Every structure is written in structure tokens, then in C-alpha cells.
Amino acid sequence: MTTARDKPMTTMTKHLVRWILTLACLLAASPVASAHPHVWVTMQGELVYAPDGSITGIRFAWTFDDMFSAFATQGIETKKPGQFTRVDLDPLAKENVSSLKEFDYFTYAKVAGKKVDLKDPTDYYLDYNAKDTVLTLHFTLPFKTPVKAKELNIEIYDPEYFVDFSFKDMKDPITMVGAPAACKLTVARPKDLSVAPGQQLSEAFFNQLSASDNWGAQFANKIAVKCP
């Protein structure tokens, strides 16, 4: 009995097979174990200062993308369809906040290399913008102990990069409320994978990506607050 393997493979078939196998190898070898972001969050933040100049916490407004907002608001009863009030969204807000705790609220604060502990959020609620069909979560993230230091570093990111964070307004991403005048704020976003539809990313960008220890960290939003 002879099988197909006995028939001599034409050159073209050989090339095709080789091409397919190469592609398969590439795909097989792709160690991108973290799937791409499924949620996009645009943030606005406020550093909250105490009268003595120490930072007590951060006040956030996280706006979710429309797909996630539609998913999250699925099944919520409303008086008017498509209009969600704060009261309607209250259970969801509670759920969000408690789920976020597991992920450390995606906020990593450090002073001189030492981690700053966070407390459970306060003053939280969800707002729904019916025009853009997006949800915004407002909450205050207090530090366990107010921070008074020369340099405070805050990074906001999802280590698995399931959630993409970016600032709503790069010109004024974070405000400092009640801060001593001499304090300076710098904001950086090393890599931006927040692709708008149709946007192309440069070659150099791809070459920088590394499937490293902390995949999501390379997309982190970094805030540095320096006070003399």
C-alpha cells in the first residue's frame, strides 16, 4: 500500500508547506500569554493633600470603554432604558470596588522603593454617560498612612495587561489639590498600546516590547511627585 507520502512533493507544495510550518512555528512560539486588553480605562486623578502637606490619597475618575460599559450594565434594571442613575448603579459600584481590591486597585505606590499600603476606597459611585454610553467610576483611594516624602512614585497598570489604563488628558493628567507650591509632578507613559482605530505603530515600538516578567508594567502610567 502506498500513501500520499510516496508521491514526490512538487516544489511548490514543498514551499507552501514550509511557509505554513514557519508561520505555525511563529504563532506557536509566541509567548504572549497575556491576551490583549479587553478593557480600556481613561483616567483622571487628583492627589489629595492634607493641610500639613502630606498626601493622604488619590481621587480617581475611571472611565471605561463602551464595550465594557455595555457588558457591566447588562441586566441592570432601570426606569428609563439606556439611562442609569447612580442609585441604579450602586450595587455594581460596590462590586467593582470589592473586585478591584484583589488587584490592588491596579495602583502601586512607592516611597524610596518601599511599598505604600492602600486602604479600601471611600466615596465611590458610578456615573453613566448616556451619550457616549460609558461608565465612570469615581472613588478615593486613601493611603494607610499619609505620605510626606521627597519623592513618591505611583504606577497604575494591570500586570496582565487585560486592562489598559491611560490618562484622559495628557496635558493635565493628575492634579494636586492643596499641594505645597514647590512640589512638582511628572507623568510618563513609556509605551502606548492604546491604539485608536486605524493607527499604526512603529517598528521601533514593536522591537521594544518584551514578554518579560511583568508584561503589563511596560505599559504603566508612572507618576512621580517630587517635593523639596
Partner 1 sequence: MMIVAGGRTSGPFAGLALPAAAILLIAVLAGTTFASHAFAQGNPFGGPRSGTAPVPVGGVVGWIFAKQAEFYRQFSGLIRASKADGTAAWSLMGLSFLYGIFHAAGPGHGKAVISSYLVANEETWVRGVVLSFLSALMQAIVAIFVVGIAAVLLHASAATMNGAVNWIETVSYLLIIVVGLRLLWVKGRALLAAFRDLGRPAAAVGAAVTPAEAIHEAAHSDHGHDHGHHHDHHDHAPVVAATAVAAAATCCDGHDHDHSHHHHHDHDHASAWGHAHAPEPEELAGPGGWRRGLSAIVAVGLRPCSGAILVLVFALAQGLFWVGAASTFVMGLGTFITVAMIASLAVGARSWAARVAGARSGYGMLAMRGIETGAAVVIIAFGALLLGGYIVNERMVGF
Cα dist. 148→21, 24, 46, 163 in Å? Answer: 58, 54, 16, 30
The grid coordinates of residue 60 equal 480617581
Cα–Cα distance for residue pair 115/109, rounded to 1 Å: 6
Residue 2 interacts with partner 1 (CB under 8 A)? yes
User: Is the Cα torsion angle 141, 143, 146, 147 positive or negative in sign?
Assistant: negative
Ordered alpha helix ranges (H), 39-162: 66-72, 86-102
Of the candidate spans 50-58, 114-122, 123-131, 205-213, the one that interacts with partner 1 by CB under 8 A turns out to be 205-213
Q: How far is the CB of 226 from partner 1 (least distance, A)?
A: 28
Q: Which of 119, 138, 112, 158 is nearest to 46 (CA)?
A: 138
Site residues for partner 1, 61-120, by CB under 8 A, read 65-68, 70-76, 92, 95-96, 99-100, 102-103
Site residues for partner 1, 120-159, by CB under 8 A, read 133, 159
* Binder of partner 1 out of 39, 61, 176, 183 (CB under 8 A): 39
Q: Which residues bind partner 1 (CB under 8 A)?
A: 1-6, 20-21, 23-40, 65-68, 70-76, 92, 95-96, 99-100, 102-103, 133, 159-160, 162, 164, 193, 195-197, 199, 201, 203, 205-215
